[in-house]
Amino acid sequence: MNRKIIIFTIIVMTIALIGLMGIQIYWIKNASAVKEASFQRTVTEVLAKVVNKIEKLEKRKASETNPYEGMLNFNRHLLYERFITEPLLDSLILLELNIRGIDTRFEFGIYNPERDLFLLEKDPGLRKSLIEKGSAARLFVSDIYTSPEYLLLYFPHEKQFLLTELWGMLLISIILIIVIVYSFTYTITTIFHQKKLSEMKNDFINNMTHEFKTPISTISLACEALSDRDIVRSPEFTENYINIILEENKRLATMAEKILQTAVIEKGQLKMKRERIDLHEVITDVIKNIRIQVEIKDGVIRKQCKAANPVLIGDKVHLTNLVYNLLDNANKYSPRKPVITVRTENISNGILLTIEDHGIGISKEEQKKIFDKLYRVPTGNIQDVRGFGLGLSYVKAIVEEHYGRISLESEINKGTTFKVFLPFTE
């Protein structure tokens, strides 16, 4: 996928995500404002009902005390303590709140602003909150002889109550936002992962084509030479070209086997033929086969096999491939005169195999990807390093099949050290 298209897609998706989150937050705030307004309307209704009941109580009590005073509608005749108490007022408010489904702590008081005096109150410690934050309704509006008095009602936990009322919407909104963010992140990660796989696949196909093309061309040329009637042939000539064909054919078979092994590992169908193996013998055989490639570059392989017990249970073919891959990499990624050291030692009921080189090294960033399938470390100025990017992923798979572990230490331009621990038993 084109890089510009990916960047454009990410920008569009980011804008869409921000827009969706903005709309979600807007609706939550809007719903909260509506809920708060509805709550205030309900509180106003409660106050009106309670004020009405207080006035009726006063009139009834006044008529019981003096029938003629109870007939007058424009004056209040009794003091509060004579017809209403703090517990009675509390129960009146509580009843009206319960009818309307409001179940939260409340405070109240009857306040005269001209005298700055509370005539009745529930909690003296909340006077300031009642005056500044409470809802108010005037008592005895028809009383023209006394200064106005107000019933104040205050809810200390109003915000928490409203949030509780909105918890369903909030929970759904939070879940939706999390799902959107996760989906966005997953999509972007998948896009980059697919792009990376696509690039690695293309590199793999290019490398594979190049690797297969060389021996095929060599075989083709050898066959042409053998079939050309104009060339004077001798037994030595014929044998030489036949050997070339055999070697190149073996090379093709080896490359094909590598690819097939990777496919088998990918499907989880790798089978181990477990037997007792002397790891030192395996190392010696591999060094014998690869030494000529190292010596062509004026290099040297140092063998320091110090493990007192080199015998373990494993698959000889795969362990041979493991050692060969690591030594081959050490040689390929050493620009000139490779110096490769192979060490063994016994630790923790197993064998630690260490392969060290003084090549180009691997950066910290590249080390995280080094065991990924098809991944190849950039080689800088070294242009002749070939391969499919399958070697180290195969090595890791073989180590894990033997219940071991592999790690590396590396520094740019100073070299790389691979450490493979293989236990004696499963």
Q: What is the CATH number of the domain that holds 401?
A: 3.30.565.10
At 381 the pLDDT is 45
* pLDDT-above-70 percentage for the chain: 83
pLDDT at 420 over 90: yes
pLDDT at 206 over 70: no
Same-domain check for residues 42 and 79: yes
Grade residue 388 by pLDDT with cuts at 50, 70 and 90.
very low
Sheet holding 107-112, edge to edge: 117-121, 107-112, 149-154, 135-139
Same-domain check for residues 63 and 83: yes
Write the pLDDT tens digit of every residue in 317-350.
888 888 988 998 888 888 788 999 999 999 888 9
Same-domain check for residues 212 and 196: yes
Alpha-carbon span 361 to 167, nearest angstrom: 56
At 382 the pLDDT is 45
pLDDT at 376 over 50: yes
Domain of residue 298, residue span? 275-423
Write the pLDDT tens digit of every residue in 119-156.
888 888 888 888 888 899 998 887 777 788 899 999 99
Same-domain check for residues 32 and 102: yes
Assess contact for 398 and 319: CB atoms under 8 A: yes
Task: Give strand pairing partners of 150.
Answer: 111, 138
Residue type, 318: H
Same-domain check for residues 251 and 210: yes
- Single residue among 267, 293, 328 that ends a domain in this structure: 267
Same-domain check for residues 87 and 129: yes
Alpha-carbon span 330 to 359, nearest angstrom: 7
At 283 the pLDDT is 93
Task: Give strand pairing partners of 304.
Answer: 343
Assess contact for 422 and 399: CB atoms under 8 A: yes
Task: Give strand pairing partners of 117.
Answer: 112
Alpha-helix runs per DSSP H in 345-419: 364-367, 391-401
Same-domain check for residues 223 and 153: no
SS3 416: strand
Q: Which two tokens stand for residue 327?
A: 């030594």
> What's the mean pLDDT when you consider all of the chain?
81
Tell me the mean pLDDT in the region 351-366: 88
- Single residue among 243, 267, 291 that ends a domain in this structure: 267
Same-domain check for residues 245 and 302: no
Write the pLDDT tens digit of every residue in 241-254.
787 788 778 767 76
CB count within 10 Å of CB 367 equals 16
At 152 the pLDDT is 92
Q: Which of the given ranges, 9-18, 198-207, 304-313, has the highest pLDDT on average?
A: 304-313
Assess contact for 155 and 105: CB atoms under 8 A: yes
Same-domain check for residues 112 and 183: no
Same-domain check for residues 103 and 85: yes
Write the pLDDT tens digit of every residue in 215-237.
787 788 778 777 776 665 677 77
pLDDT at 1 over 70: no
- Single residue among 233, 267, 301 that ends a domain in this structure: 267
Half-sphere exposure (Cβ direction) of 130: Cα atoms closer than 13 Å: 24
At 413 the pLDDT is 84
Q: Measured on CA atoms in the order 287, 291, 293, 299, is the torsion positive or negative?
A: positive
Number of H helices, E strands in the chain: 12, 11
Q: Which of the given ranges, 60-69, 181-190, 281-290, 369-378, has the highest pLDDT on average?
A: 281-290
Tell me the mean pLDDT in the region 46-52: 91
> For 101, left (φ over 0), alpha (ψ -120 to 50), or beta?
left
Alpha-carbon span 210 to 161, nearest angstrom: 72
pLDDT at 87 over 70: yes
pLDDT-wise least confident of 198-212, 243-257, 334-348, 408-422: 198-212
Same-domain check for residues 194 and 257: yes
At 383 the pLDDT is 41
